[in-house]
Amino acid sequence: MTYDPTDLDDDLDPGAVPGPDDEPTAAERARARSFAELLDKVVAGRAPAAMPAEDRALIEVATVIRAASGAVELSAARRASIVEEALHRAVDKAPPAPGNVVSIASRRAKAPWVIAAITSAVAIAAILALFLRPAPRAAAPTTTAAAPTLPQHLRSRPADPLIGEISRARSGDAAARIDAIFADRLDGFRELSFGGP
Amino acid sequence: MSRRIMLLAVLLVAFVGCADRDEAPTPADRVRLPEPDDAIDEPLMLALAVAKNFHHEAKVYMADGKPDEAIAAVRKILGVAFPEDAPEGQDVRADAHALLAKLYIGQGRLEDAMKAAEAGITAASRDSFFVANLHTVRGEVLQAQAIALALTGTTDEIKAKVTAIRRQAIEAFERSNAIVVPLQERLYQQIKDERP
């Protein structure tokens, strides 16, 4: 790029264009400082309501350059609004008024707390149910009723009816008597244990 | 909305948890009813089986002419552990005491025979044919003692003692009858009552 000293394109500086190696003048320094401050304000979102057309043009150029570099981010509210609008368009609905937009991000932020609250409540209810559950009723009568009276032949009992009177002649025949007792009780035991003799 | 869902969930869990549930009987409970304490059970059958075997062991020894071994076998019956309060246990022990007394009589050990018979009578807690048999055996022991004493002399003193012992034997037999008669009557009555 060649330098043309006759090119007078700066409306704010009607003087001759300084050479590239010339020291900046005080006026140039002052202008550069004031533009830098203005640019800082715009970047910080505090752009002045009115500014010279020259400065506005420069600011717009600077903003475009900055946006192109990717250093500009939309505010969270603005991003949410754009996303909501895009979603509504996708489902073929009219976009809601900006004031009525419910942020998905805010819902996402609440979801873990809601889930945690529900699971905590369920856990507390389960614990309460465990401790406050009434004691079980007495078991069914069929299972705990008093032991039924067994028929005589299934019970332990005196052997008198089985043996009868012991004559003197058979007084010492204890082996035969115990055989009879054992056989009789064995029938009862089998009936009790196996349901039949 | 989320509060309503949460409240519903809590109420649902509380109702389910606090529901008054019956303890359903298990299949095992339904299958087998509880039995009375006096049901014929394994311990009783085991004790009867052991006693039976000792009786037959004694019988074999007696057949072999080995009274001491027979006595030892019968004494083992007295040590068999029957279930507590099992009437069969009392009957079997009474019969073992009677057999033991008779074995002692056969050996001429009349004192031991009397001790065995009286031990059986003392241990009995109710009247039975077995206890009556013990009184009968005791009478036999007394008879044997009277005979043995009579063989020792013919003095008046001995005769008087023999007469006294024989009287005791008669009393023992009468005591046996005193047990048997009402017992028989009770059993007959019982049979009558059970008939349709």
User: A160 and B128 in contact by Cβ < 8 A?
Assistant: yes
The domain that holds B120 is classified in CATH as 1.25.40.10
Structural domain includes residue B170:
yes
- Domain of residue B172, residue span: 3-19+40-194
Q: Note down pLDDT in tens along chain B; length 196 residues.
A: 566 666 666 556 555 554 555 555 555 555 556 677 888 999 999 999 999 999 999 999 999 999 999 999 999 999 999 998 899 999 999 999 999 999 999 999 999 999 999 999 999 999 999 999 999 999 999 999 999 999 999 999 999 999 999 999 999 999 999 999 999 999 999 888 887 7
Residue B184 to residues B6, B73, B134, B135, B192, Cα–Cα distance (Å): 81, 32, 17, 16, 12
Average pLDDT, chain B: 88
DSSP 3-state of A155: strand
Structural domain includes residue B34:
no
- Tell me: the pLDDT tens digits for B116-127? 999 999 999 999
pTM, rounded to two decimals? 0.56
Structural domain includes residue B33:
no
pLDDT over 90 (residue A83) = no
Structural domain includes residue B88:
yes
Identify the sign of the CA torsion B49, B51, B52, B53.
Answer: positive
The C-alpha atoms of residue A95 and residue A81 are separated, in whole angstroms, by 10
The per-residue pLDDT for A68 is 76
Q: Which residues of chain A are within 8 Å of residue B10 when distances are taken between CB atoms?
A: 121-122, 124-125
Structural domain includes residue B181:
yes
The per-residue pLDDT for A184 is 94
pLDDT over 90 (residue A113) = no
The C-alpha atoms of residue A177 and residue B95 are separated, in whole angstroms, by 9
Q: Which residues of chain A are within 8 Å of residue B56 when distances are taken between CB atoms?
A: 175
Tokens of A57: 């043009």
Among residues 166-185 of chain A, which lie with CB inside 8 Å of chain B? 166, 168, 171-172, 174-175, 177-179, 181-182, 185
Q: Which of A75, A95, A97 is nearest to A85 (CA)?
A: A95
Angle formed at CA A166 by CA A164 and CA A172, multiple of 5 degrees: 135
* Percent of chain A with pLDDT strictly greater than 90: 15
Structural domain includes residue B25:
no
Total domains in chain B come to 1
User: B136 and A171 in contact by Cβ < 8 A?
Assistant: yes
Overall average pLDDT of the A78-95 stretch: 75
The C-alpha atoms of residue A67 and residue A83 are separated, in whole angstroms, by 20
Structural domain includes residue B30:
no
Overall average pLDDT of the A27-53 stretch: 82
User: A192 and B180 in contact by Cβ < 8 A?
Assistant: no
Q: Which member of A133, A139, A185 has the closest CB to residue B25?
A: A139
Structural domain includes residue B27:
no
| Residue A159 contacts B where some CB pair is shorter than 8 Å | yes
